[in-house]
Amino acid sequence: MKIIIVGLGKVGQTLAEELSKENNDITVIDNREALVQDFSSQFDILGVVGNGSSYSTQMEAGIEDADLLIAVTGSDELNLLCCLIAKKAGNCHTIARVRKPEYNSELNFIKEELGLAMVINPELATAEEISRVLKFPSAIEVDSFVRSRVELLKFRVPEHSALNNMKLADMPPRMRGHILICAVERGDELVIPNGDTVLQARDRISLVGTSADANEFFRQAGIVSNQVKNILIVGGGAIAWYLARMLIAAGIRVKIIEKDLERCELLSEELPKATVVNGDGTDRDLLLEEGLERYESFAALANIDEENILVSLYAKKVGKMKVITKINRITFDEVIQELDLDTVVHPKNITSEYIIRYVRSMRNSLGSNVETLHRIFNNRVEALEFIIREKSRATDIQLQDLRIRSGILVASINRRGKVIIPRGTDMMKKGDAVVIITQSTGLNDIDDILVK
């Protein structure tokens, strides 16, 4: 596919890098000449210097032959204008990043009237991800499939859990609940497990199941899984605003600490049920004064990564709470992993997941589309939801008889609202929603799981 990306910020660079790896023809547009030259030469892609909303610039980038234009500049209005010009000049699919909260209630109208394929709000998507995690505070990550009927939960095996030294083949008779352990990370080693895999304390594992079954599994494993009742948030930006609205609606008490007085006044006005404190969230005395140790959850959502990391580590030291840390840059990802933070969210990765999912669905010419895409274990594993629209080589055959590629696992099957955690005798059928866990990237169709 020929894809044009307007804007070489963090999200634009991530998208260009990831989509070029999947054999797409990528062109980037940005008005910063040095950045365009460095990035295009580094990843061997075409770079155009100029205003992405300019008709002549888009023509130079090849908009007439493009399949998709993605506008991710720092301006919502510029992104929308880029898409509007692209629709007129090239009649291609368009995706716009729109971040301002005031546009949030109008996104459907904007999408329909401008003919956009997708409107993505990174801050809203990040807030939704944090909200899901707070439903299962013992989880490191929570991803949803099949319209939230199926959950993919990543968590760390506690030292004194019943799971410690348990062989997966021995789990069904000892642990009630229809769940599937689909990935295990131990140190730098990552495996798609089988029945002989033995879990150990400190392993990071991912499981698939319904919310009810996951809760029952956590209960039997001696892992606390009740939704939190309150949260202290440091940083009052857009993510905090969206998150507070969601949590307040769910009956969770919210307190926000924000440095900027004007921003505090706005938050107080728009979030009357939240407690808003004007102060420095990195001030240890202020955190203690506001009762940090009494909170069940804590979210560091300031604009500076280093501040978020430091206050998160302090929160873990002070109390037994769920700690969530927002990080924009991932240059030192290996170092961050060693810090033993609870849940780390990367807004730019969340945005790229949404867009890559759409690109794969566009590129797919067969009968099964990528409905949902999540990346786990630092992008080393993909969890994809396929809707099987037509019969294929993978359907109507028992899983144990399919020649499934190494490193791929069929994690769940949703058939007419019923969630099936599959065994060897189960089979996939037309109309099913199927969740696949894979160490191989770039799957576009359900038949891609099979040996060719």
pLDDT digits (tens, 9 = 90+) for 281-291: 999 999 999 99
Residues spanned by the domain of 112 = 2-120
> Which residues lie closer than 8 Å to 281 by C-beta, 6 or more apart?
234, 235, 257, 258, 259, 287, 300, 302, 307, 311
Give kind and range of the element (H or E) at residue 120. Answer: strand 118-120
- What are the φ and ψ backbone dihedral angles of 56, each rounded to 5 degrees? -65, -35
Cα angle 217-220-224, degrees, rounded to a multiple of 5 = 80
The answer to whether residue 201 sits within a structural domain is yes
End-to-end CA distance of the chain: 23
Among residues 166, 196, 220, the one where a domain terminates is 220
Question: What one-letter code names the amino acid at 65?
Answer: D
**Last residue in a domain, options 197, 220, 243:** 220
148 CB-contact burial (10 Å; exposed 0-12 / middle 13-18 / buried 19+) = exposed
Claim to verify: residue 188 and residue 94 sit in the same structural domain: no
Closest CA to 236 of 104, 133, 326: 326
pLDDT reading at 367 higher than 80: no
Q: How far apart are CA 140 and CA 322, in angstroms?
A: 9
The DSSP element (H or E) to which 373 belongs, if any, is: strand 368-376
Q: Has residue 20 got a pLDDT over 70?
A: yes
* CATH assignment at residue 292: 3.40.50.720
Residues 426, 320 share a domain: no
Structure tokens at 256: 């926000």
Cα separation values, 438 from 226, 382, 383, 410, 452, Å: 30, 5, 6, 9, 16
- Mean pLDDT for 218-229 is 80
CA gap 311, 284 in Å, rounded: 8
Q: Is residue 393, in this structure, part of any structural domain at all?
A: yes
Using only C-alpha atoms, the chain has a radius of gyration, in whole angstroms, of: 23
Say how far apart CA 195 and CA 192 lie, in whole Å.
11
Judgement on whether residues 135 and 109 belong to the same structural domain of the protein: no
Looking at the structure of the chain, the number of domains it has is 4
Q: In what order do the strands lie in the sheet with 189-191?
A: 139-145, 150-156, 204-209, 180-186, 189-191
Check residue 158 and report its DSSP letter: P
Q: What is the pLDDT of residue 366?
A: 42
Task: Flag whether 143 is in a domain.
Answer: yes
Cα distance between residue 150 and residue 432, in whole Å:
13
Same-domain check for residues 147 and 165? yes
Instruction: Look at residue 55 and tell me if it is in a domain.
Output: yes
Contact 300, 294 (CB under 8 A): no
Least confident of 121-130, 175-184, 325-334, 435-444: 325-334
The label of the residue with tokens 């589309």 reads 369
What CATH number does the domain containing 409 carry?
3.30.70.1450
Q: Rounded to whole angstroms, how far apart are CA atoms 43 and 180?
A: 38
pLDDT bucket at 31, cuts 50 / 70 / 90: very high
pLDDT the model gives residue 364: 58
Q: What is the mean pLDDT of the chain?
A: 89
Q: What was the pLDDT predicted at 331?
A: 62
Dist. CA 223–CA 164, nearest whole Å: 12
- Is it the case that residue 368 has pLDDT exceeding 70? no
Are 397 and 302 within one domain? no
Same domain, 315 and 240: yes
Same domain, 132 and 116: no
**Domain's final residue, options 102, 120, 138:** 120
Say yes or no: 161 and 213 in one domain.
Answer: yes
**334 and 250 share a domain?**
yes
Reported as a single tens digit per residue, the pLDDT across 102-158 is 888 888 898 888 899 899 998 999 999 999 889 888 888 888 887 778 888 988 888
On whether residue 357 sits in a domain, the answer given is no
Residue 354 in domain = no
Residues 116, 142 within the same domain: no
Sign of the CA dihedral running 374, 2, 35, 442: positive
Statement to judge: residues 326 and 216 lie in one domain: no
Q: Do 386 and 413 fall into the same domain?
A: yes
pLDDT of residue 51 exceeding 70, the answer is: yes
Residue 356 lies in a domain: no
Q: Is residue 59 a part of any domain in this protein?
A: yes
